Structure 1
């Protein structure tokens, strides 16, 4: 089981091409959302790994990256992504993030421009009072009752009308497998997320939104997209898809990223 040590903690990760990206390929680094793990991205990796180096990791406090009571924030998660690049001697990468990970990759595009070849934000959350309130309540739920109450509701409430029972069961397993303390800490990180300077993002930019996403509203996604300064930016809206895009519609997401990356 591969782990990498960055910023005083150990992150579980996978690397499709440890010896470097294929010829003419790029390195893609993936950051998942709250209540998830790197496994969220595995349904889309078959569309990408034949041509590109794909690195996935469990964010500190999620999945197999053990929570050890260290402080965690959107900025610290972004620093961990840069730490992974440093540890693997990767000068630049396309950064791909879902939900909370969307906050991370927009921050990376804004503040670490020299390390970012392109940005893909999938259902990115935009900081707001409403988001902070929802995250605070989820933090309290996880702290008081563990993950089961959330695992019993999120798979149905946060998916679109065409999500399959298999997709919902996968989401349930991701949520149920979280450390409640780590989950609560990440909820607080989102609640306290900084407002990203989207205008500072000049790298090629792709935003993938779900038409039926109630967690990352289309209004928030549109605001992010409109304020990004990149001359090469695209907005893809997936019909009848909720917030768990890579699980609900892996072919659509995989193809969209494949085509976007080909144009960088």
Structure 2
């Protein structure tokens, strides 16, 4: 069998803030079929999804985005809001004449996918929130806010080594050295201003969906790694318990960058979820009662 063609690299013009801000969002696109959108985390870019693009493009039309402030995409508005990042996703769908898509987001991308699912429910078929954060403990909140402050005080370059240690281990296991290098390259090439503003939003958004997850109207899979202390299994289980059509799966022995470190397991879970027949949504009265 011939090797698959490399993804098409393009950009789409999107409008934010009721059309007041116009700019480009970069993306990679591969495959044919129902549309699946991949949204990376802070400091990464669309290419970090390479293992998933290859696997999913055999069955789906895969669009991997450069998040606002990353890769070839415009900077977010100042100050940024999760709605800006979600509107950028929908703006790409509009530009490419895609009426509806499944969304898969990692880390900050999980927050963006959830925001899009709540804000643009008619455009989201189903979603996966990978390594998402939710209601951090006081200790975790202090730690992430301290990291955001250090970006201002010490500069971005000082944050790269401790970030990689959290994601892959310290020292990095030999069998993860290659994928750690990919993440390191992405961090070293990121736009510092885009990273800084996006990370500040990420650091303060873990409570955002507590009042609204009970209204999420599409099937939702909450995935994380058993060893991911900052996007913990407890967080994924808590979000899944609130979402009417939510469920959680925990990947054994995986940390934060499990799409890179455990691609076969992740791809199998994603393909299985994407192919499922949606369960009926509970009656609206049930959803409203759940939120009381």
TM norm structure 2: 0.81
- Equivalent in the alignment of 2:35: 27
- Equivalent in the alignment of 2:268: 255
- Equivalent in the alignment of 1:117: 125
Farther off after superposition, 156-165 or 186-195? 156-165
- What's the CA shift for 1:54? 0.4
Farther off after superposition, 154-163 or 102-111? 154-163
- What's the CA shift for 1:137? 2.8
- Equivalent in the alignment of 2:151: 142
- Equivalent in the alignment of 2:288: none
- Equivalent in the alignment of 2:163: 154
- Equivalent in the alignment of 1:204: 219
Q: Which has the larger radius of gyration?
A: 2
Alignment of 1:180-259 (within 5 A): 180-193=192-205, 195-196=208-209, 197-230=212-245, 233-259=246-272
Farther off after superposition, 188-197 or 105-114? 188-197
Q: Distance in 2 between matches of 1:69 and 1:110?
A: 21
Deviation per residue, 1:9-32 (Å, 9 max, x gap): 221111215xxxx3xx31001111
Deviation per residue, 1:217-237 (Å, 9 max, x gap): 22211111111101xx44221
CA contact (8 A) 1:151 1:173 kept: no
- 1:173 lines up with 2:181 in the alignment: no
3-state SS of paired residue (2:63): strand
RMSD: 2.1
Moved over 6 A (4+): none
Farther off after superposition, 239-248 or 156-165? 156-165
- Equivalent in the alignment of 2:68: 60
CA contact (8 A) 1:43 1:246 kept: yes
3-state SS of paired residue (1:12): strand
Gaps of 5+ in 2: 1-8, 16-21, 278-292
- What's the CA shift for 1:39? 1.7
Gaps of 5+ in 1: none
TM norm structure 1: 0.88
Q: 2:103 aligns with which of 89, 95, 99?
A: 95
Task: Give the number of aligned pairs.
Answer: 256
Q: RCO higher in 1 or 2 (8 Å CA, sep ≥ 6)?
A: 1
3-state SS of paired residue (1:10): strand
CA contact (8 A) 1:102 1:121 kept: yes
Farther off after superposition, 152-161 or 218-227? 152-161
- What's the CA shift for 1:133? 3.8
Farther off after superposition, 91-100 or 195-204? 195-204
- What's the CA shift for 1:158? 2.1
3-state SS of paired residue (2:178): helix
- Equivalent in the alignment of 2:30: 16
- What's the CA shift for 1:136? 3.4
Farther off after superposition, 238-247 or 151-160? 151-160
